[in-house]
Structure 1
Amino acid sequence: MKDTVTAYLRTWNTTDAAARTELLTRHWAPEASYTDPLAEAVGHDAIGATIGAVHEQFPGFVFTPVGEPDTHHRQIRFQWGLGPEGSEPVIIGFDVLVTDDQGRIATVLGFLDKVPG
């Protein structure tokens, strides 16, 4: 399941739209949903657009894992950080991923733990 978190973060860190679409196709279910306090998206196109908007808002920032994922059944819970590469994260969040029967990301429920004022 750690590979799923790696693929998830790789998708979020990919700035090239075509490469991001390839990652979404490979690792995310076609009807995948993403929900956090700031966004709601369903399907590869909408999720890709959401990721693109984050890159526009935070250019040069990268997502990194914070700690180790906790998993059971088809669910993964983990913390992530967002900030300039090589620096402490400015934003820290907490996501729960649920995979489908093929191991693709089907549902993402996101929370923000630390947001600058």
Structure 2
Amino acid sequence: MSDLDELARRYLASWNERDPGRRRALVGELWTDDAGYVDPIVVADGRDAIDAAVAAAQRQFPGLVYRPAGPVDVHHHVARLPWALAPPGGPPVIIGLAVLVAGPDRLRRGYGFLDPVPVPTSDPGAEK
């Protein structure tokens, strides 16, 4: 298993971490200072914004968990991670693909692809 393969697995685990303090610590360990993440419904520049995007997704999909939907494919400094968002033990609600670009020891960029793309909801509980 490559270091990037392990980073990809930890990336997915960070999307499942419900405790805000532990999730923020995972985001801090995983992402570089100049990190960025984009998908069809969010653009997040920096660790704080990435953490806020994960928290918003958790509020939008309570009770659902992210799980691998295939092997992590790694070459050079890029990983492709297929995933599914589903109730524990249930069928996927969303199938996704994360393309992760690493720096020397952390993730620098993340690109998410979603099928279907969920309709954004207003998020009155958004963390500031």
TM-score normalised by the chain length of structure 2: 0.85
Rounded to whole Å, the distance in 2 between the matches of 1:93 and 1:33 is 18
Counterparts of 1:113 and 1:37, CA distance in 2: 10
Q: 1:96 offset after TM fit, Å? A: 0.4
Displaced runs of 4+ in structure 1, greater than 6 A? none
3-state SS of 1:87 partner: coil
Q: Quick one: which amino acid aligns to residue 48 of structure 1?
A: D
Q: 1:71 aligns with which of 69, 74, 99?
A: 74
Q: Is the contact between residue 90 and residue 116 of structure 1 (CA under 8 Å) also seen in structure 2? A: no
| Identical-pair percentage | 42
Partner of 1:54: 57
Instruction: Give the aligned partner of residue 111 of structure 1.
Output: 113
- Aligned 8 A contact 1:69 1:78 in 2: yes
Q: Which runs of 5+ in 2 are unaligned?
A: 120-128
The Cα of 1:115 is off from its aligned counterpart by 4.8
CA deviation after TM superposition for structure 1 residue 25, in Å: 1.1
CA distance in 1, matches of 2:118, 2:103: 34
2:104 is matched with 101
| Alignment-mate amino acid for residue 111 of structure 2 | L
Do the aligned partners of 1:90 and 1:115 also contact (CA within 8 Å) in 2?
Answer: no
Provide TM-score, normalisation by structure 1. 0.92
Q: CA deviation at 1:16?
A: 1.1
Aligned length: 116
- Looking at structure 1, the residues matched to 89 and 62 of structure 2 have their Cα atoms a distance apart, in angstroms, of 14
1:30 is displaced (CA, Å) by: 1.8
The equivalent of 2:15 in structure 1 is 12
Residues 28-66 of structure 1, C-alpha deviation per residue, up to 9 Å, x if partnerless?
112210000000001111111111111111001110011
Runs of 5+ unmatched residues, structure 1: none
Preserved contact between residue 40 and residue 117 of structure 2 (Cα < 8 Å)? no
Corresponding residue SS for 1:68 = coil
- Correspondence list, 1:27-46, <5 A: 27-46=30-49
1:92–1:115: 8 Å Cα contact kept in structure 2? no
Report how far residue 20 of structure 1 moved: 0.7
